[in-house]
């Protein structure tokens, strides 16, 4: 793939933003390979994502940041620029369920995810052999009511030690402590086996069955201190009927879970998701 710099911007909406950025890139002969824009007219906010051929510019990533900084200040921008050649470092977290973890590992092994999976952290040993096959370090950190503080301190140390860019909860089934959510805000992705905001919390398929719904689904979202209420990245649904049992719903739901999670992770890795308050703008 062509090496690119990915410039992602959000700022108060006003005239001249696109012109200023385009003029900046033109001045340095920047070759735009992809451009996306969105104006939130209700809240007066503007969002932008540009991919620029790295080879077309006369500077490296640090030089880009230095040259662009005055424009960012002028327009009060929240912005990042990343190099597609620098693969994000990802830690996956799991429990006993294998479908989401196995799907992500397969996609990574098949070069579908442009990232480096540096470790898997789990609270059971069940998935170790599968992870070992991929030559990825596996850390089992058991958690119970008595050792939660110590266990999460160990997990935080592991995540820090791997210089992690993104944590993915692949059906981890544990609530992260508030401090960890705060430290890694916007860098922890979860899959919830429900079409949020319906049926948050534990056993959503049981809740859906009792409610008699005709659609079940899955939600990929960023983790915050508020359980299952973080900004949503992606969702999907599956139609069911009165004849489906809870077991049917769990089986069917797994397909949605792994697909939605993989899609959300890929969008994040490619810098296509911009968080604004408790919502997201997703450039696909």
Claim to verify: residue 19 and residue 125 sit in the same structural domain: no
Known catalytic residue at 234: no
What are the φ and ψ backbone dihedral angles of 124, each rounded to 5 degrees? -145, 165
Residues of the chain with pLDDT under 70: 195-197, 199
| Per-residue pLDDT at 275 | 97
Rounded Cα–Cα distance for residues 35 and 11 (Å) = 16
Q: Which residues of 32-63 are buried (b: 16+ CB within 10 A; e: fewer)?
A: beebbeeeeeeeebbbbbbbbebeebeeeeee
**DSSP label of 69:** H
Claim to verify: residue 200 and residue 65 sit in the same structural domain: no
Rounded Cα–Cα distance for residues 223 and 283 (Å) = 20
Claim to verify: residue 145 and residue 221 sit in the same structural domain: yes
Cβ–Cβ contacts within 10 Å for residue 154, how many? 16
- What are the pLDDT digits (tens) for 64-108? 999 999 999 999 999 999 999 999 999 999 999 999 999 999 999
Q: What is the β-pairing status of strands 116-122 and 138-140?
A: parallel
Q: Are 50 and 31 in contact (CB under 8 A)?
A: no
Residue 173 maps to which CATH number?
Answer: 3.40.50.170
What are the φ and ψ backbone dihedral angles of 150, each rounded to 5 degrees? -65, -40
- What are the pLDDT digits (tens) for 251-281? 988 999 999 999 999 999 999 999 999 999 9
Looking at the 3D structure of the chain, how many domains does it have?
Answer: 2
Residue labelled with tokens 């490619």: 270
| Per-residue pLDDT at 115 | 97
Claim to verify: residue 21 and residue 101 sit in the same structural domain: no
| Per-residue pLDDT at 197 | 63
What are the φ and ψ backbone dihedral angles of 39, each rounded to 5 degrees? -110, 120
Claim to verify: residue 262 and residue 225 sit in the same structural domain: yes
Cβ neighbours of residue 238 closer than 8 Å, sequence gap 6 or more = 215, 216, 217, 252, 253, 255, 256
- Give the SS3 label for residue 63: helix
Claim to verify: residue 165 and residue 266 sit in the same structural domain: yes
| Per-residue pLDDT at 39 | 97
Claim to verify: residue 69 and residue 111 sit in the same structural domain: no
Q: Which domain holds residue 114?
A: 89-282
| Per-residue pLDDT at 43 | 93
Pick the last residue of a domain from 51, 83, 115.
83
Instruction: Quote the tokens at residue 204.
Output: 């959503």
Rounded Cα–Cα distance for residues 167 and 161 (Å) = 13
Cβ–Cβ contacts within 10 Å for residue 126, how many? 14
Pick the last residue of a domain from 83, 107, 138.
83
| Per-residue pLDDT at 189 | 98
**Among 103, 165, 228, 234, which one carries the catalytic annotation?**
228
Residue labelled with tokens 């002028």: 74
Pick the last residue of a domain from 83, 99, 134.
83
């Amino acid at each position: 793939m062509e090496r690119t710099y990915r410039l992602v911007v959000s700022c108060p909406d006003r005239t001249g933003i696109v012109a200023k950025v385009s003029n900046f890139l033109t001045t340095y002969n920047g070759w735009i390979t992809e451009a996306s824009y969105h104006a939130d007219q209700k809240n007066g906010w503007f969002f932008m994502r540009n991919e620029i051929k790295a080879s077309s510019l006369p500077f490296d990533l640090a030089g880009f940041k230095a040259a662009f900084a005055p424009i960012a200040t002028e327009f009060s921008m929240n912005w990042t620029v990343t190099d597609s050649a620098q693969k994000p470092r990802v830690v996956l977290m799991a429990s006993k369920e294998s479908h989401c973890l196995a799907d992500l590992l397969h996609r990574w092994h098949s070069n579908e995810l442009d990232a480096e999976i540096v470790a898997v952290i789990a609270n059971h040993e069940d998935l170790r052999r599968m992870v070992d096959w991929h030559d990825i370090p596996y850390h089992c950190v058991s958690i119970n009511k008595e050792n939660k503080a110590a266990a999460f301190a160990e997990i935080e140390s592991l995540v820090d030690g791997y210089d992690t860019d993104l944590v993915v909860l692949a059906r981890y089934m544990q609530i992260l402590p508030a401090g960890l959510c705060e430290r890694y805000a916007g860098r922890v992705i979860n899959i919830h086996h429900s079409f949020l905001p319906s049926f948050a919390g534990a056993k959503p398929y049981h809740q859906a069955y009792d409610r008699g719904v005709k659609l079940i689904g899955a939600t990929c979202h960023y983790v915050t201190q508020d359980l299952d209420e973080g900004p949503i990245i992606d969702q999907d649904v599956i139609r069911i009927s009165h004849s489906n049992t809870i077991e049917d719903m769990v089986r069917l739901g797994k397909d949605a879970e792994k697909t939605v999670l993989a899609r959300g992770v890929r969008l994040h890795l490619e810098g296509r998701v911009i968080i604004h308050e408790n919502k997201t703008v997703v450039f696909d």
